[in-house]
Amino acid sequence: MKKFSLFLISISAVICFLLTVNFVFAQTEVCEPSVQTFNVTLLAVVCGAGVDAINPCEFAILILLMASMLAAESEHITKDRKKALYTGITFIVGIFIAYFLMGIGLMEFIRKYTLNFSGYFYKIIGALAIIIGLLNIKDYFWYGKGFLMEVPLSWRPKMKGLIRGITTPVGGFLIALLVSLFLLPCTAGPYVVILGMLAHKVTFSKALSYLVLYNLIFILPMLAIVLLIYYGLSPERAENWRQKKLRLLHLVAGIILIGLGIAILGKWI
C-alpha cells in the first residue's frame, strides 16, 4: 500500500512538473497578454478532468446503482444483466449532459460578470484550487474530520433513495439529471477552476470542445465501473476497493489541484 501510494504521488508530481513546463513554453509564445492571445493547454484540462474523474463520490453512486439493479434482478429467473448495463449507461449519459450544460452556463456567467476584473478573479481561481487541494489532502490524513470534500452526510440518504428507486434505463437518465446536483459539493471544485480558465483564456467555440473533452474524461471511470460489474465484478468487491483507496484518491487529487493553483498564481497560464 505504501509503495503504491508513493508511486501515485510520484506520477502526480511528474504530471504537475510537465504541466508547469508546458505552461512556461506556452507563455513564451504570447506577445501581449489578453483574453484572445492566451491559451489554455490541453494538459491543464486533462489534469483538471482527471482530478474530477477519480472522485470517490461518483464511484460510490455507480456501485450503488449497479448493486440495486442486480439485487432487483436476482428475484427473477431471467436475471437480465443487460438491463443493468443499459441503465448504468443512460445514467452516465444523463450525468454527462447535466455537467456539460452546467459548465456552459457557469462559464458564460463567469465570462460576463468577471471580465472587468479578470486579473483579480484569476487569482481567486488559483487560490481556490490550492484551498480545495489542501482540503483533499486533509481528507487523506484526517478523513471524516471537519469539512469533507464529498457529498454532505445529510444529503446521502435522499440521494441513495433516488438511486435505489431506478428500475429502467429511462429512469436512470432522468434521475441522473437530479443526482448531478447532489454531486456538486464533491466535484465542482476542479470544474470551477477549469471553467474560470476557459472563460478568460479561449473563445466560446474552443471552450466548448474543451468542455466535451473534460466531461468525457470525467465519465470514463463511471463507464469502467458499469462494464466491470456487468462482466462479473461484484458490487461488494468494487465497494471494498473504493473504501480502501478512498484516502489515496483524495491525496492524488489534492496534489494535482495544488499544482494547478500554483501554476495559475505564478502566471504560467
Looking at the predicted structure, is the pLDDT value of residue 98 above 90?
yes
144: left (phi over 0), alpha (psi -120 to 50) or beta: left
Position with higher pLDDT, 256 vs 100 = 100
Looking at the predicted structure, is the pLDDT value of residue 180 above 80?
yes
Is the Cα dihedral 208, 134, 8, 183 positive or negative? negative
Long-range Cβ pairs for the range 207-211 (8 Å, 24+): 207/107, 208/104, 210/40, 210/45, 211/100, 211/103, 211/104, 211/107
Q: Would you state the pLDDT for residue 13? A: 46
Rounded mean pLDDT of 28-43? Answer: 45
Residues of the chain with pLDDT > 70: what percent? 77
Rounded Cα distance, 229 and 153, in Å: 26
Rounded Cα distance, 91 and 179, in Å: 10
Looking at the predicted structure, is the pLDDT value of residue 247 above 60?
yes
Instruction: Output the average pLDDT for the chain.
Output: 77
Q: Give tens-digit pLDDT for 197-222.
A: 888 778 888 899 999 999 999 999 88
Rounded mean pLDDT of 188-195? Answer: 85
Rounded Cα distance, 187 and 190, in Å: 7
Position with higher pLDDT, 26 vs 164 = 164
Q: Give tens-digit pLDDT for 114-172.
A: 766 767 777 888 888 898 889 888 888 888 777 766 666 677 788 778 887 787 889 88
Position with higher pLDDT, 84 vs 152 = 84
| 235 in Cβ contact with 229 (< 8 Å) | yes
Q: Would you state the pLDDT for residue 4? A: 42
pTM of the model: 0.75
Looking at the predicted structure, is the pLDDT value of residue 33 above 80?
no
Looking at the predicted structure, is the pLDDT value of residue 107 above 50?
yes
Rg (CA), the chain: 19
